[in-house]
């Protein structure tokens, strides 16, 4: 059975590209970054051509128009996450910056030597190294929740980690390597039973499922625009107002101040307290367009389509002799499949697939501790988006079969 993509591939000009004489491009590297629809690129170009002026400070027409657009984008993000107020939506450069902000500012306000943060074995480097920097500054302790052999968090171990030194939990919603969807609602509920706040890394969940920060009751939530069909260089930190009020600013500069003197500086209200310097107001427009694009298709349709692709891919990949798939092999997987074929090196596999016009990612996927846990150096990773089709997966499997014959 062939499926139709749920949106027109020609919304995405790059997918029409011929690479090494192969057409159409089979782009299966969406967990690294997604392609951008025309609607996003055109809105940004339009703003540069017709509106561009620095936001917030100007009394003139263009500055006010740019400010309105930027703040309207913040409202779009608020709606997308179902946050209570736009005061809780901080624009950052992406998930990495959002996590660093929390580690640095929450760490400064609430953590001292010997205090603990709970992470997991499947975290991206962003959600490990940010805490290690705090560890170097303050001597905090990292507690790491282990995973099962099929890539699920050991929840009974997680519960045991809480003690009087636990200050925060920081865990990914969806693994960028295994596709595991973590039970974040339970993770948050358990942490709150111990009066411990939770930061969720939503880099890999926001493109694939509805996120409701009030429903989850998370204290912080981070995501990146470029992984959800938006531009690079912009992301979001959601934080509950009561936490954002209580933690100090991240960077100093323009925008984040109320008044400055050499004796005493006071800080701006939320969310501007965390937005030093000229914000990327063009990218915020692009991000809002991307969120509108996704919302207009709807997550019911996106999830159904991507679940179909993922289970079809799991079934077809398992036909390949010597195939090893890491992580859960079922519907719990969110549009990401990491695999290894016999003893063909993942780099060889990725390079040869590329020559066939199929883009996958190879390597450790910024999760070296997870690779160590799995006892491997790297994998090949295929990750899906709303524009992928079953034909893309057939091409991947045929490509793998051809490459296998060469070895
Ligand atoms: N966390 C996860 C789970 C990710 O997949 C990524 C991106 N690969 C990041 C964090 C970092 O995102 P960014 O590079 O956009 O800041």
Has residue 274 been placed in a domain? yes
Chain centroid, CA 130 distance in Å: 16
Tell me, yes or no, whether 99 and 148 share the same domain: yes
pLDDT value at position 6? Answer: 67
**Torsion-angle region of residue 270: left (phi > 0), alpha (psi -120 to 50) or beta?**
beta
Tell me, yes or no, whether 175 and 128 share the same domain: yes
Is residue 383 within 6 Å of ligand 1 at its C-beta? no
Tell me, yes or no, whether 325 and 388 share the same domain: yes
Stated as kind and residue range, the H or E segment containing 237 is: strand 235-239
Judge whether 366 counts as a catalytic residue: yes
Tell me, yes or no, whether 270 and 311 share the same domain: no
- Report strand pairing: 116-120 vs 166-172: parallel
Is residue 399 within 6 Å of ligand 1 at its C-beta? no
Integer Cα distance of 14 and 361 in angstroms: 18
Is residue 170 within 6 Å of ligand 1 at its C-beta? no
Has residue 149 been placed in a domain? yes
Q: Whose CA is nearest to atom 6 of ligand 1?
A: 203
Residue found by looking up tokens 């099929």 in the block: 150
Q: Out of 277, 295, 313, pick the residue that ends a domain.
A: 295
Has residue 147 been placed in a domain? yes
Tell me, yes or no, whether 162 and 195 share the same domain: yes
Instruction: Give every CB contact of residue 6 below 8 A, 6+ residues apart in sequence.
Output: 297, 301, 302, 305, 386
Compute the distance from residue 95 Cα to the ligand 1 centre, in Å. Answer: 6
Tell me, yes or no, whether 273 and 367 share the same domain: no
- Across 122-165, the runs of DSSP E, i.e. the strands, are 141-145
Q: Which atom of ligand 1 is nearest to the CA of 32?
A: 8
Alpha helix (H) residue ranges in 298-344: 299-317
Tell me, yes or no, whether 139 and 89 share the same domain: yes
Instruction: Give every CB contact of residue 59 below 8 A, 6+ residues apart in sequence.
Output: none
Tell me, yes or no, whether 260 and 305 share the same domain: no
Compute the distance from residue 125 Cα to the ligand 1 centre, in Å. Answer: 8
Has residue 3 been placed in a domain? no
Best residue for ligand 1 mutational test, from 153, 176, 236, 370 (most atoms within 8 Å of Cβ)? 176
- Report strand pairing: 220-224 vs 198-201: parallel
pLDDT value at position 344? Answer: 97
Tell me, yes or no, whether 26 and 132 share the same domain: no
Residue 197: CA count within 13 A, CB half-sphere:
18
Compute the distance from residue 163 Cα to the ligand 1 centre, in Å. Answer: 29
pLDDT value at position 2? Answer: 47
Under-50 pLDDT residues of the chain: 1-2
Tell me, yes or no, whether 251 and 307 share the same domain: no
Q: Out of 295, 314, 349, pick the residue that ends a domain.
A: 295
Is residue 87 within 6 Å of ligand 1 at its C-beta? no
Q: Which domain holds residue 63?
A: 41-295
Q: Out of 261, 279, 295, pick the residue that ends a domain.
A: 295
Has residue 1 been placed in a domain? no
> Contact at 8 Å (CB) between 181 and 205?
yes
- Across 46-96, the runs of DSSP E, i.e. the strands, are 89-92
CATH of the domain at 19: 3.90.1150.10
Residue 144's beta-bridge partner residues?
Answer: 119
**Torsion-angle region of residue 394: left (phi > 0), alpha (psi -120 to 50) or beta?**
alpha
Q: Which atom of ligand 1 is nearest to the CA of 235?
A: 15
Has residue 137 been placed in a domain? yes
Best residue for ligand 1 mutational test, from 33, 126, 180, 361 (most atoms within 8 Å of Cβ)? 126
CATH of the domain at 99: 3.40.640.10
Is residue 126 within 6 Å of ligand 1 at its C-beta? yes
- Across 209-328, the runs of DSSP E, i.e. the strands, are 220-224, 235-239, 257-259, 266-267, 323-326
Tell me, yes or no, whether 269 and 313 share the same domain: no
Among the listed residues 394, 367, 382, the one whose alpha carbon sits nearest the alpha carbon of residue 123: 367
Tell me, yes or no, whether 108 and 57 share the same domain: yes
Is residue 285 within 6 Å of ligand 1 at its C-beta? no
* pTM of the complete model: 0.97
Has residue 220 been placed in a domain? yes
Has residue 2 been placed in a domain? no
Helix, strand, or coil (residue 86) = helix
pLDDT value at position 9? Answer: 80
Is residue 230 within 6 Å of ligand 1 at its C-beta? no
- Please pick, among 105, 218, 366, 380, the residue that the annotation labels catalytic: 366
Compute the distance from residue 57 Cα to the ligand 1 centre, in Å. Answer: 32
Integer Cα distance of 103 and 123 in angstroms: 14
Compute the distance from residue 96 Cα to the ligand 1 centre, in Å. Answer: 6
Total domain count for the chain? 2
Compute the distance from residue 313 Cα to the ligand 1 centre, in Å. Answer: 23
């Amino acid at each position: 059975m062939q499926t139709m993509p749920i949106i027109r591939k020609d919304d995405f000009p790059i997918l029409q590209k011929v690479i090494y004489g192969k057409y159409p491009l089979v782009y299966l590297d969406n967990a690294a970054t997604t392609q951008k629809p025309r609607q996003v690129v055109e809105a940004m170009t339009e703003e540069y051509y017709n509106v561009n002026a620095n936001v917030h400070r100007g009394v003139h027409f263009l500055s006010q128009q740019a400010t309105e657009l930027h703040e309207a984008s913040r409202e779009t993000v608020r709606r997308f996450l179902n946050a209570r107020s736009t005061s809780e939506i901080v624009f950052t450069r992406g998930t990495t910056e959002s996590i660093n902000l929390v580690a640095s500012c929450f760490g400064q306000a609430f953590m001292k030597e010997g205090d603990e943060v709970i992470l997991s074995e499947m975290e991206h480097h962003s959600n490990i190294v940010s805490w290690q920097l705090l560890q170097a500054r303050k001597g905090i302790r990292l507690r790491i929740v282990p995973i099962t052999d099929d890539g699920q968090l050991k929840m009974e171990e997680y519960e045991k980690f809480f003690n009087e030194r636990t200050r925060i939990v920081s865990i990914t919603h969806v693994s960028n390597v295994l596709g595991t969807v973590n039970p974040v609602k339970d993770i948050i509920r358990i942490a709150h039973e111990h009066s411990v706040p939770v930061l969720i890394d939503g880099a890999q969940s926001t493109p694939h499922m509805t996120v409701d920060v009030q429903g989850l009751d998370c204290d912080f939530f981070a995501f990146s625009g470029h992984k959800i069909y938006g531009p690079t260089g912009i992301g979001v930190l959601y934080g509950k107002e009561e936490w954002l009020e209580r933690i100090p600013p991240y960077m100093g500069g323009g925008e984040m101040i109320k008044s400055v003197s050499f004796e005493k500086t006071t800080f701006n209200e939320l969310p501007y307290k965390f937005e030093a310097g000229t914000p990327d107001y063009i990218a915020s427009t692009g991000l809002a367009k991307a969120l509108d694009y996704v919302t207009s298709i709807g997550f019911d349709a996106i999830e159904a389509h991507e679940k179909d692709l993922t289970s079809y891919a799991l079934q077809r990949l398992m036909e390949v002799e010597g195939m090893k798939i890491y992580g859960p092999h079922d519907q719990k997987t969110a549009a990401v499949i990491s695999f290894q074929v016999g003893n063909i090196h993942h780099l060889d596999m990725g390079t040869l697939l590329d020559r066939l016009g199929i883009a996958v990612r190879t390597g450790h996927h910024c999760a070296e501790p997870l690779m160590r846990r799995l006892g491997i150096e790297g994998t090949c990773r295929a990750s899906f988006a709303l524009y992928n089709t079953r034909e893309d997966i057939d091409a991947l499997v045929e490509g793998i079969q051809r490459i296998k014959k060469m070895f």
